[in-house]
Structure 1
């Protein structure tokens, strides 16, 4: 079976799904979805910082830029956030 990745729109606002709790951990953070009972480990502290900053920015792109991610680094982070959107951990704002 082939997996299809979500292409995330960087120019819209995103937020943590209201059914998701983020718990900081020494390695990064845990995301737990109470609806699906799915657990995600965020081991990249920059991703954790962006997730936490989403409410303060009008778009994912501006949240990434605020964390110092340049245009060359955006595709890598876009894939990571596409995975979070695919698992319904983040949703459009």
Structure 2
């Protein structure tokens, strides 16, 4: 995974507690109350993945559980990387 994604797909992530998602026909509006960033999630499947991240042991597992085909995974990983950089999703620290 290229480092510009700021996302480790082998690690668990979750939706930030400060993130609000407003459903829209195209996907959702995402607003982070902490840093006041607004993002457009332009895929209902991406919204589903973001909402289910904390139910899976890794980002890869979340993509698999949501049925993302291998050919589309790079695009979803880029989108999730953007969300990670903006603080909308965050890595879950696992106790050793």
What is the TM-score when the length of structure 1 is the normalising length? 0.87
Tell me how far 1:75 sits from its aligned partner.
1.4
Closer, same or farther: CA 27–73 of 1 in aligned 2, 3 Å:
closer
Counterpart of 2:46 in structure 1 is 47
Counterpart of 1:22 in structure 2 is 21
What is the TM-score when the length of structure 2 is the normalising length? 0.84
Give SS of 1:72's match: helix
- CA deviation profile, 1:47-84 (whole Å, cap 9, x unmatched): 01101111211111011011111333221111110000
Counterpart CA distance in 2 for 1:25 and 1:70 is 23
Asked if the contact 2:6/2:84 (under 8 Å) is kept, the reply is: no
Asked if the contact 1:5/1:86 (under 8 Å) is kept, the reply is: no
Gaps of 5+ in 1: none
> Aligned residue pairs: how many?
90
